[in-house]
């Protein structure tokens, strides 16, 4: 029986996808005065979009609110509750850099988006179907903070889909995601059904337990965590790698597809290994309907080390130590920065990339597991230190292997570099109300 | 001669040994180690000895399900008042705890309830906390071939067999 999710209490971004095209902004607030921050929350509370309201066509713009551990402390959260949050959230993402592979070029010393240790206390996400609607919502946020000198806006980053409708490396993004039990509708072919407690606190998870948080139920029920990552994409280096390792435009497309596991259209190599099939890519009834265990255990169609077999191995690890159900993530990706013009292979010095908002009720066994064990390591597929050819760290290995025809590529650059990140608490509306009424 | 002085000749083959990145245990290359020491409940030793035969008989089945453990042992000591569980395995420890419990929980459940103080059943969320809370890190650790995982070794065995068959056929 499907879980009965309290949609009116869950912040919309947990369950609902962004519009297409989308125009969003991430705002970072730093709190100097807890009482004023609580006033901000009191003002914002009626304007926050729940999952029940998300698809109201009249509005087509949304606002959601998140908190870092430091932010909760400054809001006046009692010490015993602060100490009972998951260790990943307590420490913050920057402190976990060694484990997450955020070393070298990815080191928090180079991050340009604030994190919990550098002023990110409250994060507000605005998402809209047009730039005008976005600015209307931004105005609501600015109105809410007016006169509150103890709450400072320290960072704003706008996101939006480029005119190409693809992320900067040229791939259609956001094709695969789990279906959350109780979210409404029906799962698509190939879409795994995940228990709601994997993504929302207060519901049964895949371990058969009720996912819970610290302190009173009213604080954490219908809340969750967002593992936020700002990822700079070195598009010029990616293009140079393709150019230098493939001798025709077709061969470059094939190599890009082998690294991703999907053609740039989104067509899965598992279903069309020889050539792109844009029609298949657009068909939601087919574009996720595949597995790896029986059809392609050795990666002859979809290389085992490619991006999509790392972030979502599907059934490939059945029979191994890994229980795939425990490591599912819900990924909300959005792009930032201008497109590097087609054909350009020298960096123009302009920052562009992805903002990843990973929704997970247990950041340790979901986002951090995927990042540390699958994206940044190769042991789980018997590939030693090799990492994700698109998104992985490069300080241990710069190799990518294709089994058929057998070829080993060397010299992969750090195509994706971390430029910011934090584990944030995304409470339900009732949780924010509890904070307003009980803290201070 | 000072006991603290390291003989450079003998230390030439030293292995870089670090702590596990996200929890207890030492790490050399891909190889990790862990020791967990718990308290034995009154009457627990008797239960343990009644059950351990079946536990031993099924070790191969359950450990192959986990697939990353090189060796594993359980010891009652201190006059049956304490229990030691130790393992040498591939990769990280804490991130895989939930998976190990999910994959091999039934095996531990045939041995530990009533023996290990605090252990109810594997699926109890308190079990992961019990293991983490009673884990100890080795002060010294050595691993042969620390960059070869169980999977790598199995692959190399398959490869060696195939090469030998090819050479046999050629002769």
pLDDT confidence of residue B94: 85
> Is residue B6 one of the residues assigned to a domain?
no
Flag whether pLDDT at B2 surpasses 70.
Answer: no
For B99, the closest of A321, A364, A372 (CB atoms) is: A321
SS3 A76: coil
pLDDT, position A14: 85
> What per-residue confidence (pLDDT) applies to A55?
62
Counted domains in chain B: 1
How confident is residue B45, by pLDDT bands cut at 50, 70 and 90? very high
Question: Does B95 reach chain A within 8 Å, measured CB to CB?
Answer: yes
Q: Is residue B165 part of a domain?
A: yes
Q: Does residue B8 belong to the interface with chain A, where contact is any CB pair within 8 Å?
A: no
For testing contact with chain B, the best of A379, A380, A384 (most B CBs within 10 A):
A379
Domain that residue B68 falls in: 16-170
Which of chain B's residues have a Cβ under 8 Å away from the Cβ of A364? 94-95
| Domain assignment of residue B141, yes or no | yes
Q: Which of A321, A365, A382 sits opposite B103 (nearest CB)?
A: A321
Low-confidence ranges of chain A (pLDDT < 70): 1, 54-59
**B72 is a domain residue:** yes
Of A211, A162, A198, A166, the C-alpha closest to A336 is A162
Split at pLDDT 50, 70, 90, the class of B80 is very high
What pLDDT, on the 0 to 100 scale, is given for residue A56?
61
In angstroms, what separates the C-alpha of A326 from chain B's closest C-alpha?
A: 8
- Going by C-alpha positions, the residue among A297, A288, A290 that lies closest to residue A320 is A297
Q: What is the ipTM of this complex?
A: 0.80
| B5 lies in some domain | no
Record: contact A379-B30, CB cut-off 8 A? yes
**Contact B65/A at CB under 8 A:** yes
Whether B155 is covered by a domain: the verdict is: yes
- Condensed to tens digits (0 to 9), the pLDDT of residues B131-167 reads 999 999 999 999 999 989 888 898 899 999 999 999 9
Q: How many residue pairs from chains A and B have C-beta atoms closer than 8 A?
A: 59
Residue B65 is predicted with a pLDDT of 84
pLDDT number for residue A58: 54
Rounded Cα–Cα distance for residues A351 and A404 (Å): 36
B96 at the A interface (CB within 8 A)? yes
Q: Does B63 touch chain A (CB under 8 A)?
A: no
Question: What is the distance between the alpha carbons of residues B141 and B25, in angstroms, rounded to a whole number?
Answer: 10
Output the pLDDT for position B114.
98
Distance from CA of B150 to the nearest CA of A (A): 9
For position B103, what pLDDT does the model report?
Answer: 83
* Model pTM score: 0.92
Subunit contact A369:B149, Cβ cutoff 8 A = no
Q: What is the pLDDT of residue A16?
A: 77
pLDDT at B21: 80
The pLDDT score that the predictor gives to residue A49 is 86
Strands A122-128 and B69-77: what pairing?
unpaired
């Amino acid at each position: 029986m499907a879980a009965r999710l309290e949609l009116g209490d869950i912040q919309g971004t947990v369950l609902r996808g962004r519009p297409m095209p989308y125009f969003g902004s991430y705002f970072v607030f730093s709190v100097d005065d807890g009482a004023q921050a609580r006033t901000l929350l009191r003002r914002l509370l009626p304007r926050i979009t729940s999952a029940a309201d998300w698809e109201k066509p009249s509005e087509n713009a949304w606002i959601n609110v998140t908190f870092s551990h430091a932010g909760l402390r400054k809001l006046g959260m009692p010490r015993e509750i602060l100490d009972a949050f998951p260790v990943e959230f307590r420490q913050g993402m920057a402190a976990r850099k060694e484990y997450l592979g955020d070393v070298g070029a990815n080191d928090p010393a180079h991050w340009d988006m604030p994190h919990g240790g550098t002023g990110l206390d409250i994060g507000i996400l605005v998402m809209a179907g047009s730039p005008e609607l976005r600015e209307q919502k931004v105005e609501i946020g600015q109105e809410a903070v007016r006169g509150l000198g103890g709450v400072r806006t320290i960072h704003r980053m706008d996101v939006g889909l480029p005119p190409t409708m693809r992320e900067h490396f040229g791939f259609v993004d956001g094709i695969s995601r789990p279906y959350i039990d109780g979210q409404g509708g029906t799962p698509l072919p190939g879409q795994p059904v995940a228990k709601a407690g994997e993504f929302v606190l207060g519901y049964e998870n895949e371990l058969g337990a009720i996912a819970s948080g610290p302190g009173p139920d009213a604080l954490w029920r219908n809340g969750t965590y967002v593992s936020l990552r700002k990822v700079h994409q070195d598009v010029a280096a990616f293009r140079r790698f393709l150019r230098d390792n493939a001798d025709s435009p077709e061969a470059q497309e094939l190599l890009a597809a082998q690294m991703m596991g999907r053609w740039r259209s989104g067509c899965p190599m598992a279903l069309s290994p020889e050539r792109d099939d844009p029609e298949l890519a657009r068909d939601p009834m087919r574009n996720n309907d595949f597995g790896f265990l029986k059809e392609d255990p050795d990666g002859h169609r979809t290389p085992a080390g490619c991006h999509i077999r790392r972030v979502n191995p599907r059934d490939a690890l059945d029979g191994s130590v890994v229980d795939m159900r425990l490591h599912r993530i819900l990924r909300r990706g959005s792009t930032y920065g201008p497109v590097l013009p087609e054909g350009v292979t020298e960096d123009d010095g302009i920052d562009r990339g992805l903002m990843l908002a990973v929704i997970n009720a247990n950041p340790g066994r979901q986002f951090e597991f995927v990042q540390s064990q699958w994206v940044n390591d190769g042991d789980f597929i018997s590939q030693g230190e090799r990492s994700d050819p698109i998104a992985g760290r490069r300080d241990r290995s710069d190799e990518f292997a294709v089994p058929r025809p057998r070829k080993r590529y060397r010299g992969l650059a750090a195509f994706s570099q971390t430029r910011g990140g934090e584990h944030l608490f995304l409470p339900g509306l009732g949780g924010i109300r509890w904070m307003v009424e009980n803290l201070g | 001669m000072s006991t603290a002085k390291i003989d450079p000749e003998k230390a030439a083959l030293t292995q870089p040994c670090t702590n596990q990145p996200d929890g207890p245990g030492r790490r050399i290359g891909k190889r990790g180690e862990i020791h967990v020491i718990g308290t034995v409940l009154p009457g627990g030793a008797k239960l343990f000895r009644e059950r351990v035969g079946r536990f031993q008989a099924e070790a191969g089945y359950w450990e192959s399900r986990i697939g990353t453990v090189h060796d594993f042992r359980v010891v009652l000591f201190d006059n049956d008042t304490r229990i030691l569980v130790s393992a040498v395995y591939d990769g990280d420890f804490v991130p895989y705890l939930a998976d190990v419990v999910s994959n091999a929980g039934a095996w531990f459940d045939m041995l530990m309830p009533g023996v290990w103080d605090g252990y109810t059943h594997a699926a109890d969320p308190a079990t992961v906390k019990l293991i983490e809370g009673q884990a100890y890190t080795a002060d010294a650790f050595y691993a042969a071939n620390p960059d070869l995982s169980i999977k790598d070794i199995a692959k190399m065995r398959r490869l060696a067999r195939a090469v030998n068959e090819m050479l046999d056929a050629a002769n």
